Amino acid sequence: MKPRFIMCICTGQCPGFKSLDLWALINYVRNELDVEYAIVHPQLCVDDGDRFFKDYIKPDVKYIIGACDPKMQRKMFKDAFLESGGDYDKQVISLDLRNISTEEAMKKVKEVVESLK
Protein backbone atom coordinates (compact mmCIF):
# COMPACT_ATOMS: atom_id res chain seq x y z
CA MET A 1 0.00 0.00 0.00
CA LYS A 2 1.33 3.42 -0.89
CA PRO A 3 1.89 6.00 1.86
CA ARG A 4 -0.36 9.01 2.38
CA PHE A 5 1.11 12.45 2.86
CA ILE A 6 -0.56 14.85 5.31
CA MET A 7 0.69 18.40 5.57
CA CYS A 8 -0.20 20.37 8.70
CA ILE A 9 0.20 24.05 7.96
CA CYS A 10 -0.22 25.49 11.48
CA THR A 11 -3.32 27.58 10.58
CA GLY A 12 -1.47 29.18 7.68
CA GLN A 13 -0.33 31.97 10.00
CA CYS A 14 2.79 30.46 11.55
CA PRO A 15 6.03 32.24 10.60
CA GLY A 16 7.78 28.84 10.55
CA PHE A 17 6.10 28.04 7.22
CA LYS A 18 6.58 31.47 5.69
CA SER A 19 9.19 30.23 3.21
CA LEU A 20 7.12 27.21 2.13
CA ASP A 21 5.01 27.31 -1.02
CA LEU A 22 2.35 24.95 0.30
CA TRP A 23 0.59 24.28 -2.99
CA ALA A 24 3.81 23.74 -4.90
CA LEU A 25 4.80 21.14 -2.29
CA ILE A 26 1.43 19.39 -2.24
CA ASN A 27 1.17 19.26 -6.03
CA TYR A 28 4.74 17.96 -6.27
CA VAL A 29 4.06 15.19 -3.74
CA ARG A 30 0.76 14.08 -5.29
CA ASN A 31 1.95 14.27 -8.90
CA GLU A 32 5.60 13.30 -8.75
CA LEU A 33 6.01 10.95 -5.80
CA ASP A 34 4.72 7.44 -5.28
CA VAL A 35 2.01 8.23 -2.74
CA GLU A 36 -1.67 7.32 -2.65
CA TYR A 37 -2.47 11.03 -2.30
CA ALA A 38 -1.49 14.19 -0.44
CA ILE A 39 -3.73 16.37 1.71
CA VAL A 40 -3.53 19.50 3.85
CA HIS A 41 -4.94 19.98 7.35
CA PRO A 42 -4.89 23.44 8.94
CA GLN A 43 -4.11 22.44 12.55
CA LEU A 44 -3.80 18.79 13.51
CA CYS A 45 -2.90 19.36 17.16
CA VAL A 46 -6.28 20.71 18.29
CA ASP A 47 -9.65 19.02 18.84
CA ASP A 48 -10.78 18.87 15.22
CA GLY A 49 -7.38 17.40 14.33
CA ASP A 50 -8.02 14.61 16.84
CA ARG A 51 -11.47 14.08 15.35
CA PHE A 52 -9.97 14.00 11.87
CA PHE A 53 -7.42 11.36 12.90
CA LYS A 54 -10.12 9.24 14.57
CA ASP A 55 -12.18 9.28 11.36
CA TYR A 56 -9.27 8.85 9.03
CA ILE A 57 -6.63 6.46 10.40
CA LYS A 58 -6.56 2.93 9.05
CA PRO A 59 -4.33 0.18 10.36
CA ASP A 60 -1.44 -0.92 8.11
CA VAL A 61 -1.23 2.37 6.22
CA LYS A 62 1.89 4.53 6.45
CA TYR A 63 1.41 8.23 6.98
CA ILE A 64 4.07 10.79 6.25
CA ILE A 65 3.22 13.91 8.24
CA GLY A 66 4.86 17.19 7.38
CA ALA A 67 4.50 19.65 10.26
CA CYS A 68 6.54 20.80 13.27
CA ASP A 69 9.05 19.07 15.57
CA PRO A 70 8.65 15.27 15.36
CA LYS A 71 8.85 14.88 19.15
CA MET A 72 5.98 17.33 19.55
CA GLN A 73 4.03 15.58 16.80
CA ARG A 74 4.39 12.26 18.59
CA LYS A 75 3.17 13.73 21.87
CA MET A 76 0.21 15.38 20.21
CA PHE A 77 -0.90 12.63 17.80
CA LYS A 78 -0.14 9.25 19.38
CA ASP A 79 -3.30 9.06 21.53
CA ALA A 80 -5.56 9.87 18.57
CA PHE A 81 -3.88 7.06 16.62
CA LEU A 82 -4.35 4.67 19.52
CA GLU A 83 -8.01 5.60 19.89
CA SER A 84 -8.56 4.96 16.18
CA GLY A 85 -6.99 1.51 16.38
CA GLY A 86 -3.68 2.62 14.90
CA ASP A 87 -0.11 2.61 16.14
CA TYR A 88 1.66 5.92 15.76
CA ASP A 89 5.17 4.52 16.13
CA LYS A 90 4.64 1.89 13.42
CA GLN A 91 2.63 3.98 11.00
CA VAL A 92 4.00 7.50 11.04
CA ILE A 93 7.08 9.13 9.63
CA SER A 94 7.04 12.70 10.84
CA LEU A 95 8.96 15.49 9.20
CA ASP A 96 9.79 18.94 10.46
CA LEU A 97 9.17 21.16 7.44
CA ARG A 98 9.46 24.50 9.24
CA ASN A 99 12.00 27.13 8.30
CA ILE A 100 13.17 25.48 5.12
CA SER A 101 12.68 26.26 1.45
CA THR A 102 10.05 24.57 -0.69
CA GLU A 103 12.81 22.71 -2.56
CA GLU A 104 14.28 21.39 0.70
CA ALA A 105 10.82 20.29 1.86
CA MET A 106 10.26 18.48 -1.46
CA LYS A 107 13.62 16.72 -1.06
CA LYS A 108 12.83 15.62 2.51
CA VAL A 109 9.45 14.17 1.52
CA LYS A 110 10.93 12.48 -1.55
CA GLU A 111 13.64 10.79 0.54
CA VAL A 112 11.06 9.34 2.91
CA VAL A 113 8.74 8.17 0.13
CA GLU A 114 11.66 6.43 -1.58
CA SER A 115 12.82 4.84 1.68
CA LEU A 116 9.40 3.21 2.05
CA LYS A 117 9.51 1.37 -1.30
Q: Does 10 bind ligand SF4 (CB under 6 A)?
A: yes
Which three-class secondary structure state does DSSP give residue 102? helix
C-alpha Rg value of the chain to the nearest Å: 13
Please report, as residue ranges, which positions from 44 to 63 form the binding site for ligand SF4 (by CB under 6 A).
44-45
User: With respect to ligand SF4, which residue has the nearer C-beta, 60 or 89?
Assistant: 89
Q: Does 102 bind ligand SF4 (CB under 6 A)?
A: no
| Angstrom distance (rounded) from CA 97 to CA 7 | 9
Q: Does 7 bind ligand SF4 (CB under 6 A)?
A: no
| Sheet architecture: strand order including 4-8 | 37-41, 4-8, 63-67, 92-96
Q: Does 100 bind ligand SF4 (CB under 6 A)?
A: no
Count of residues that bind ligand SF4 according to CB under 6 A: 9
| Angstrom distance (rounded) from CA 102 to CA 92 | 22
Per CB under 6 A, which region of 6-14, 19-27, 52-60, 79-87 contacts ligand SF4?
6-14
